[in-house]
Amino acid sequence: MFCPKCGSILLPKSEKGKKVLMCSNCKYTKEGTTQFKEQGKTEAHKVDVVEKEVETLPETEAECPKCGNYVAYVWTVQTRAGDEPETKFYKCKKCKHIWRDYT
């Protein structure tokens, strides 16, 4: 329900033992036969925290220029004009070094 004076939403409140709808903006109150359903607090959902870094990128064979490892994650980004090829980025699986390939 909305306030007839200002158009804000009417919120349920308890006033002197009565349940009414009150506008939080202009304090308009409405008594009546409006049905209220009180809800208790629900239990909080547990959230699992992952302590390690999880990579979802595909892996490929590429030599890391920093440590020499041959396994890297790969992804592409359009860093130049639309008629030019994408830039390939690599991230070493071992040392996490990131480098790019413009070809």
What is the pLDDT, as a whole number, of residue 39?
Answer: 65
For the chain, what are the domain ranges? 1-36, 59-101
pTM of the model: 0.49
Q: Which of 48, 53, 61, 83 is catalytic?
A: 83
What is the per-residue pLDDT across 49-86, written as a single tens digit (0 to 9) for each?
877 777 789 999 999 999 999 999 999 998 888 888 89
**DSSP per residue over 16-84, as a string?**
TTEEEEEETTT--EE-SS------PPPPPPP-PPP-S----SPEEE---TTT--SEEEEEEE--S-TTS
What is the per-residue pLDDT across 73-83, written as a single tens digit (0 to 9) for each?
999 998 888 88
Annotated active-site residue 84? The verdict is: yes
Q: So what CATH class is 59-101?
A: mainly beta
Q: Which of 55, 84, 86, 101 is catalytic?
A: 84
Annotated active-site residue 101? The verdict is: no
